Amino acid sequence: MKSLLTMNELTKDEIIEILDQAERFKNGEAWNKGADKYVANLFFEASTRTKCSFEMAERKLGLGVIPFEAHTSSVQKGESLYDTVRTLESIGVETVVIRHSLDRYFDELAGLKISVINGGDGCGNHPTQCLLDLLTIRQEFGGFENLQVAIIGDIAHSRVARSNAEALSKLGAEVVFSGPREWFPPEYQNRYMTVDESIATSDAVMLLRIQHERHGSTSALTKEEYHESFGLTVSRKQRMKDRGIILHPAPVNRGVEIDDSLVECENSRIFKQMENGVFVRMAVLKRALNN
């Protein structure tokens, strides 16, 4: 069994191997998975893309998907995460995909044999989002060396920012950060760039959603002020590199992080990211179930 909890645990070669397998799945490769294999998706936080694309990936691979909804499960009676996952392991589920609001919720599952794929933990990690971002960037540029990627927005509360920063640096890309000072972690201070400069000089511009649900506070800025100060406006887009691409993990706050008219513009790969998510998740599931 092979879990995937953070991007940190993957070597450069392992990342490339997952991206290559995702590309092969995208090109129609099938996988003979052997005997019946069962997975369950445990989402304790809201999700559209991650949950639905994991389900799509599981069905494409012919896996048995055991339905689980937190609000109708015995979690409602106070059952712990450990006991929930241990129960699924006992009945024959081999892999669980989990999204949870607690940072590093997976530490309490460390002793189990079942493989855990992290679908997002608190402000911590979102490895499959990172892998689909990497696949989208590689499809565009062929690799990562000598690329500059700007990550802009609510950096402090973003599990996407952390996962991407680690992986892109490992793969040889330069990562710069921009966004409101109140949501800017001190460890990235030496890689701060103004929004205008980061958008004009980067090959990939990754915009992040404001994570209101994680800090409970709103910025001192209105949505319009945020858009003008930190968003991808039409005039900033005009200063992007010709071949520069726009990424966003979504859901998108249209008119805040990005102008509504740019969400599907020629440089945007936002919906391509979602398409790639299915193939990346197929590759991660295969890796988990093959071991």
Binding site for carbamoyl phosphate: what residues are annotated?
49-50, 99, 126, 129, 250-251
Residues 6 and 14: their CA atoms lie apart, in Å, by 13
Q: What span, in angstroms and rounded, lies between the C-alpha atoms of 280 and 54?
A: 9
Residues listed for the chain: 291
Q: Are 145 and 174 in contact (CB under 8 A)?
A: no
Q: Residue 128 Cβ, how far from ligand CP at the closest point, in Å?
A: 9
Q: Quick one: 174 or 275, whose CB is closer to ligand CP?
A: 275
- DSSP H or E segment with residue 23: helix 12-26
- Please tell me the distance from the alpha carbon of residue 189 to that of residue 202, in angstroms, as a whole number: 18
Applying CB under 6 A, among 37, 49, 237, 286 the residue interacting with ligand CP is 49
User: Nearer to ligand CP by C-beta: 129 or 136?
Assistant: 129
What part of residues 18-47 is at the interface with ligand CP (CB under 6 A)? 47
User: CB of 119: closest distance to ligand CP in angstroms?
Assistant: 7
> Using CB under 6 A as the criterion, what x/- string covers residues 102-141 for binding ligand CP?
------------------x--------x------------
**Site map for ligand CP, 221-260, x if CB under 6 A?**
----------------------------xxx---------
What is the rounded CA–CA span in Å between residue 159 and residue 144? 21
Phi, psi at residue 208, to the nearest 5°?
-110, 145
Q: What tokens appear for 198 in the block?
A: 């980061």
Residues that bind ligand CP (CB under 6 A): 47-50, 120, 129, 249-251
